[in-house]
A = this chain, B = another copy of it.
Amino acid sequence: MKAEKISELTTNRMSIYLRCVTELAAEGTKTVSSDKLATRFHLNSAQIRKDLAYFGEFGVRGVGYYVEELRDHLKKILGLNKEHCVAIIGAGRLGTALTDYYGFSQTNFTVAALFDADKSKIGQMVGDVEIFDIKDFAEVAKRDKIDVAVIAVPAQFAQNVLEMVTDAGIKAVMNFAPTPLKTRDDVKLKTIDLTTSLESLSYFLAQPTGAANGKGVKPNSGKMRIKK
């Protein structure tokens, strides 16, 4: 194992692996080989081994991986051995849906606060989460030890909100606003762009071949420019 940069593709897969071995552990499986993992969960065994090997020698040749041990390593690597407190900015449809989203509570994430600029919403509760005035973000974030912010506001406000949360010291931000954002190098920004995802699906529907995975999806051929 060498100390080198870990790509986001790898960290995303680490999260998938954690989910898989958690399932295996629940079933009482003691050991698993990369091959069995790959077959069962539609993954690639070489990639599993390579990804895991970035972080240590977790496997045993001839045996595979000890499921519970691997699960604990993955949790530690992903920083899931501590609780994370999430603030959601934007108490609209998406923000409130995310507040109640079962997946957020599943692991180690607690939604601690919602924020909105709409005075009429402030003080209301979404489940047991209070909606605060966005102006009080820094204060509430500090009090509640918030370390992750989720941006669920309209696109035109997203950049300002991002700057506000990073100015308050937040280092990890998940953005749902469909707009390109720019932030500091020491802040991890992850954008989930539902519009882009849908339009990408639309592209595949528009292809004459209809080949979605693997096979040749070709663009229209020939020149297309309209002379002006």
Chain A residues with a Cβ under 8 A of chain B: 1, 3-6, 8, 11-12, 14-16, 18-20, 41-43, 54-58, 66, 69, 73, 77-80, 84, 86, 93-94, 96-98, 100-104, 106-109, 147-148, 154, 171-174, 178-182, 185-190, 192-206, 210-226, 228
Contacts and interface: CB of A to CB of B under 8 A. Distances in A.
B202 A103 contact: no
28 contacts: A1-B221, A4-B219, A5-B218, A12-B196, A12-B197, A15-B195, A15-B199, A16-B180, A20-B180, A42-B181, A56-B224, A57-B224, A73-B224, A77-B206, A77-B219, A77-B220, A79-B203, A103-B194, A107-B198, A171-B205, A172-B204, A172-B205, A174-B197, A174-B201, A186-B211, A186-B212, A187-B212, A190-B201
A118 to B, nearest CB: 15
B41 A180 contact: yes
A197 B86 CA distance: 13
